[in-house]
Amino acid sequence: MKKVVIGMSGGVDSSVAAYLLQKEGYEVIGLFMRNWDSLVNNEQIGISDDNIICPQEQDYNDALLVCNKLNIPLHRVDFIKEYWDYVFKYFLDELEKGRTPNPDLMCNKYIKFDLFIEEAKKLGADYVATGHYAKIDGNRLCRALDLNKDQTYFLAQVSPEQLKNVLFPLGEVTKEEVREIAEKLNLVTANKKDSTGICFIGERNYQKFISNYLKPNPGKIIDVKTNKEVGTHTGLMNYTIGQRRNIGISGYKDKHYVVGKNVKENILYIAFGENNEYLYSDACILENVNFISSKKPTFCTAKFRYRSTDVEVILEYLENNEILVKYPSTVKAVTPGQACVFYLGQECLGSGIIKEIHRDNKRIDYL
């Protein structure tokens, strides 16, 4: 009997994934990762006093109840220091550069599909599994059956070597079916709310949470069209390109959006109007390019955000492992620091991190 070590998060997805592996005849072992500790990481502002037990301990308790119900062992491992060094420090560094990072991609790259796999091997794993909605087809990473929950976007910085001997039991089931299975099994996680917020940290008041680690640095909000000051921001790290709500200016009837940042001058640029030209670009340059597939096409589709639709793009391969991506000028709010993920049909080819954006063959230099 082949042995599978599955990452148990205390949520419904990993719970049902463990059951499905059991059903297929594997010997299943659970492994819970603890990657954040508010006290160790000096998180003093923004913690709710409502919870008697911290969220990660509740997740562990739920994972333990599920494993007991399924009669599988559950092990526990701490990656608190490693998460800080490889994921959270990257997150803070990117914010200081005025960018909008996606820590979930780096968590998968350095924690879930690196350190976790090494720990699973110590437990004698033949395979490693997670509750991600994705599929492995041969050596290809492919979208899940449930396209609304597909998580290949977050896996697109993982190397092909890291995906060897990895199983995704939820690749062929929908979220609705996962909930139904959990209810039939009477699992404690059946109706548990899906986790949101920063990977492994959970829900927080974002601005209060970030203020634990980056000092607020108020500055001017400038209308990019008129170059007039229209308000004061609370710190560039608190805003992202395309943001419309909670910008901090009042007295204007027209909708307004964040369209750029000048880190050197500590200026936040906004533009008025829902379809103003400053929200749009037609090209970007990617760095930290990672290909899962051996295919490196000139034409493919791409997603610029997790929930965005696929866009047809042209790829031009540059020096220093960078790529120039050209796309229709109707693409809105492409954001430095976010991932651009490539697809050919159902296959996820890989990704790069957006370094800079262009319009009309010119870099938008206030970003």
Residue 299 pairs in a beta bridge with: 314
How far apart are alpha carbons 256 and 277 in whole angstroms?
Answer: 12
DSSP string computed for 54-104: -HHHHHHHHHHHHHHHHT--EEEEE-HHHHIIIIIHHHHHHHHTT----HH
Q: What's the pLDDT score for residue 40? A: 78
Highest-confidence segment of 35-39, 132-136, 212-216: 132-136
Q: What's the pLDDT score for residue 253? A: 79
Compute the average pLDDT of residues 97-118.
96
Dihedral sign computed on CA atoms, order 249, 358, 343, 309: positive
Helix axis angle, 175-184 relative to 12-23, nearest 10°?
70
Distance from CA of residue 247 to its chain's centroid? 23
How far apart are alpha carbons 154 and 111 in whole angstroms?
Answer: 13
Percent of the chain at pLDDT > 70 equals: 95
How far apart are alpha carbons 364 and 350 in whole angstroms?
Answer: 25
pLDDT band at 21 (very low <50, low <70, confident <90, very high): very high
Q: What's the pLDDT score for residue 52? A: 45
| Residue (of 4, 208, 292) closest to 125 by Cα position | 4
The mean of the pLDDT values for the chain is: 93
CATH of 3-206, one of 3.20.20.140, 3.40.50.300, 1.20.200.10, 3.40.50.620: 3.40.50.620
Which member of 54, 67, 142, 199 is catalytic?
199
Compute the average pLDDT of residues 305-313.
95
In CATH, the architecture of 216-277 is Roll (2.30)
pLDDT digits (tens, 9 = 90+) for 238-267: 999 999 988 988 888 788 999 999 999 999
Q: Within 13 Å of residue 331, how many CA atoms lie on the same side as its CB? A: 26
Question: Domain residues of the chain, as ranges?
Answer: 3-206, 216-277, 280-363
Residue 55 reports pLDDT greater than 80 = no
Assigned CATH for 280-363: 2.40.30.10
How far apart are alpha carbons 219 and 39 in whole angstroms?
Answer: 31
Compute the average pLDDT of residues 295-322.
96
Please report which helix (H) or strand (E) contains residue 33, including its range. strand 27-34
Compute the average pLDDT of residues 33-44.
82
Distance from CA of residue 325 to its chain's centroid? 21
Residue 49 reports pLDDT greater than 70 = no
Q: Does pTM top 0.85 for this prediction?
A: yes
Q: CB–CB of 104/154 below 8 Å?
A: yes
Exposed e or buried b for every residue in 199-212, given b needs 16+ CB within 10 A? bbbeebeeeebbbb
pLDDT digits (tens, 9 = 90+) for 167-224: 999 999 999 999 999 999 999 999 998 877 676 666 677 888 889 999 989 999 999 9
38 versus 163: the higher-pLDDT residue is 163
Q: What's the pLDDT score for residue 195? A: 79
Q: CB–CB of 283/313 below 8 Å?
A: no
Residue 116 reports pLDDT greater than 90 = yes
DSSP string computed for 228-291: -EEEEES-GGG--TT--SS-S--S--S-EEEEEEETTTTEEEEEESTT-GGGB-SEEEEEEEEE
Distance from CA of residue 165 to its chain's centroid? 23
Active-site residue 199, yes or no? yes
| Residue (of 193, 202, 125, 140) closest to 171 by Cα position | 140
pLDDT digits (tens, 9 = 90+) for 215-228: 989 999 999 999 99
Q: What's the pLDDT score for residue 281? A: 95
Percent of the chain at pLDDT > 90 equals: 80
Q: What's the pLDDT score for residue 245? A: 87
Q: What's the pLDDT score for residue 366? A: 66
Active-site residue 54, yes or no? no
Q: Most distant CA pair in the chain: distance in Å?
A: 69
How far apart are alpha carbons 283 and 313 in whole angstroms?
Answer: 9
| Residue (of 305, 292, 291, 293) closest to 354 by Cα position | 305
Residue 159 reports pLDDT greater than 60 = yes
Own/partner contacts of 225-232, CB < 8 Å, gap of 24 or more, are 225/271, 225/272, 225/276, 225/278, 230/270
| Residue (of 79, 322, 37) closest to 201 by Cα position | 37
| Residue (of 365, 330, 347, 311) closest to 140 by Cα position | 347
Compute the average pLDDT of residues 93-119.
96
Q: What's the pLDDT score for residue 48? A: 55
pLDDT digits (tens, 9 = 90+) for 263-286: 999 999 999 988 889 999 999 999
Per DSSP bridges, beta strands 256-262 and 267-272 are antiparallel
